[in-house]
Structure formats: C-alpha cells, structure tokens
Amino acid sequence: MLAYKTGKDFAIELDKNDELASYRNQFHIPKDKNGNNLIYMTGNSLGLQPKSTKEYIDQELNDWAELGVEGHFEAKNPWLGYHEYLTKKMANVVGAKPIETIVMNTLTVNLHLMMVSFYKPTKTRYKILIESDAFPSDKYAVESQLRHHGFCDKEGLILWKPRYGEELLNYDDLETILKQQGDDIALILLGGVNYYTGQFFDLKRITSLGHEYGCLVGFDCAHGAGNVKLDLHDSGADFAVWCSYKYLNSGPGSLAGCFVNEKHAHRKDLNRFTGWWSHNKATRFTMRDEFDQLPGAEGWQLSNPPILSMAAIKASLDMFEEVGMDKLVEKSKKLTGYFEFLMKQLGEDAIRIITPENPDERGCQLSIQVKKADKSLHKRLTASGVISDWREPDVIRCAPVPLYNSFQDIYNLVERLKEILT
C-alpha cells in the first residue's frame, strides 16, 4: 500500500512518477472562460474526447465523399465489416471472448434485445430481480418487459435493497431473497457497478447464486466497462450490456456493447428479434435466402451500423488496447485511493464516503455524502471550476479517470471543496 501524504508536492511527485501521465495530453480537457482547465470529474457520465477521434471520423467522411457507396468495399477501412475491427478490442476491455462480444445499437435497446432472448417467463417463474437503486432506464425497461408479457410490473419486480441506514448491498440479503423466492425469479439484472454508490459487484458470485436457483443472470455494465476488470466470460453471466460514452470515451450517444455468453452462441432455440445483419454474412446480399442466423453475439445485430460512431469507438479502443486494463486499473486504484485519503482529512463531521472502502469493490468513482449540504454546494463547486455530479439530497459523485485525470486534479479538487466547506 502506498503511504499517501497531504501536501501539494506529493501530488506533483505522483504525477511525475505516473507511467500513464502522458495520456492526459491525448484528450481535449474542457476549459473555463479564461482558458483554464476545468477539473473534470464526470467521466462516469460522458468521457472526454480523445484528440485522435477527429482523425478517425474524418477518414470515414473523406472516404464517403470520395467513394460513395463503394466505400463499403473500397474505403481504407471497408465499412462492410467495420464492427469487426472493434470486436476483439472491446472483448479485451470487458474480459470476454470475441464470439461473445458485439458493438451495436444503444444500451437500453440492447437490454431489450437481450430480454427478448433471456427473459423467458412462465406462469410460475416470471419475476425479475433488480437493485433497488437501479438506473431509471433499466427499471423502466424491465417494467415494460413485464407488462409486455402480461404481468403486473409491481408484482413482477423484486428489489434487492440495502439494509436500513445503509447504502451498499449485502450478498447475504441476496441469498435470503433467492432462498425464499428463487423459484419465482426468471431473471436477475444488476448493474456491474452501481451508478449511484459505485459498488462493484462480484459478478461471478451473483451469477453462480442465480444459476443455482434456476434464474438467468445479466448485467448492465455501463459504469463498469473501461473502469474495472469485469471478466465477463469468467463470470458465467448469460448476457451483459454497456455503453461506450462513459468510461469508453466514444462520444455522446455512441453505440453500445453487448455480451452473450459463449454457451448460447450456437443456440437456435432462443427467441430473438432479427434483421439482415443477424443473417449469415456469406449470403446476406443474395437477399432471397431463408434466414440463416450468425453464431455468437453478432447474431443479435439488426441493422447495418453507423460508421461515424464506430470510428469514434475505434479511436478510443485503440488507446485502451495500447494501455491495457491492467495498467489502467493499477493507476485508477492509486488515484482513487489518494482521493479517498485526502477526503478523509476533512473529517467525519463534514463528509461520509458511501462507496466501498475495499479497492476491489469499487472503480474510480467516489460517492460522497456532504453533511448539512444542499445543491448550493454543487453550484459553488461548479463555479470554482470543478465539474462533478450532484444527487439529491446531499451526495456528490466524482470519478477520477486514470486516462486523463491527474493527481494534481485530485489535490486541487479537495482544496476547492475545503474552501467551500469552511
């Protein structure tokens, strides 16, 4: 364990010794009106733009201008198989096999497509278990699936809740729910990392537990992908979905990722929605054949995909490939550990950190409850040049991202917070 120190010189020293420090220069850092860098702590909401993204997109714009439809075959990166350039890189980020991984659609769309295949309710086993503080879109999606199958969304939803006075979820409680109601539950759908508390769940443990009771298990890894080591394949999960615009720095609303466990790769019995892009690539363009489903996660695609969005994803994934998740997570733990250390100097009367203390049970985000605070604190913090996220009634969420946040960012952030609080 690194022994952290409080002074500014220590932050400077940490930056000097940081092997990944140069990556910060490869991003556009938002600035205030006077041209000073803002302290950007919302990579968990929209990751910053790599400077290379423009080049990657320009390449496709130029090829489109010069080649028109021929770009599908003649572009420098022929568009026809463009998603394939992303598959292995994305698989490595989330710890999956290429056959299990596809970049397509957007997150909530993928969640629905996955539930078409993996939410298979019967009269007696139809309920869906989610975290009580699930991201709203996930909750709405799940409720609409229940209604779509003719069930009451209130009765059909089982919530895994924190204990009274706590925020984090306890695995013993999940076990109790499954012991009591496991036979009623068709699907367990949880965030890989909870968006609010930053709690990183033990995907493998949850999956084994769910499977033991005959439930299918899926994860929404929007806050996990590019942030923690998800090891999706080893987790045994049936499916997972995530977006690319948070920690994966691929631009607002960019395409999402989807994981389908290898064990389902060749199943023809699974119900699914299909389109021409789920059809065998070799005969796709003869257009007359009976449907011939592609194996693996690719077989869940519907449409020919937006190349401009994929170009942005490629720019980002090339950087992730160069760095690798191991080094990224190593720096992330140091950065967040340092943040936690400095915050704790403020004292328990001023703040309480909700996020788990164990570095293996969290990513880079710290959710901080500020005692006696209201939204004016967030306003003042923003005015001081810190971009953070506020959640009523009194929690700020900050996510120091190892690719572009520095140790001095953290030092300056805590100094500004101190000034506002005292």
Ligand X SMILES: *Cc1c(COP(=O)(O)O)cnc(C)c1O
Q: Specify the residue, 107 or 329, whose C-beta has the smaller distance to ligand X.
A: 107
Please report, as a single letter, which amino acid is at residue 308: L
Strand ranges inside 192-346, DSSP E: 216-220, 239-242, 256-260
75, 90, 91, 107: residue in contact with ligand X (rule CB under 6 A) = 107
Q: Does 243 engage in binding with ligand X (CB under 6 A)? A: yes
Question: Is residue 4 at the binding interface for ligand X, with CB under 6 A as the rule?
Answer: no
Q: Which of 42, 49, 101, 108 binds ligand X (CB under 6 A)?
A: 108
Among positions 163-192, residues that touch ligand X (CB under 6 A) are 191
- Of 52, 59, 92, 137, the one binding ligand X (CB under 6 A) is 137
Minimum distance from CB of 249 to ligand X (Å)?
A: 14
Q: Select 254 or 406, whichever has its Cβ closest to ligand X.
A: 254
Determine the interface stretch with ligand X among 53-61, 101-109, 153-161, 374-382 (rule: CB under 6 A).
101-109
**Which distant-in-sequence residues (6+ apart) come within 8 Å of 157 by Cβ?**
127, 128, 130, 139, 142, 143, 146
CB of 194 to ligand X, least distance (A): 8
Q: With binding defined as CB under 6 A, does residue 228 bind ligand X?
A: no
Q: Contact between 138 and ligand X (CB under 6 A)?
A: yes
Q: Between the CA of residue 118 and those of 219, 238, 260, 305, 385, what are the distances in Å?
A: 12, 8, 10, 24, 45
Q: Does 106 bind ligand X (CB under 6 A)?
A: yes
User: What are 86-92's contacts with CB under 8 Å, separation 24+?
Assistant: 86/310, 86/313, 86/314, 86/317, 87/298, 89/314, 89/317, 89/318, 89/320, 89/321, 90/257, 90/313, 90/317, 92/320, 92/321, 92/325
From 100-108, 119-127, 152-160, 338-346, give the range in contact with ligand X by CB under 6 A: 100-108
Residue where the block lists tokens 């631009």: 251
Q: Output the smallest distance, CB 243 to ligand X, in A.
A: 4
Q: How many residues bind ligand X (CB under 6 A)?
A: 12
CB 255 within 8 A of CB 244: yes
Distance CA 245, CA 242 (A): 9
Residue 220 in the binding site for ligand X (CB under 6 A): yes
> Which CB sits closer to ligand X, 53 or 250?
250
Q: Of all helices (H) and strands (E), which one includes residue 169?
A: none
C-alpha 302 chain-centroid distance: 22
Q: Which residues bind ligand X (CB under 6 A)?
A: 106-108, 135, 137-138, 191, 195, 220, 222-223, 243
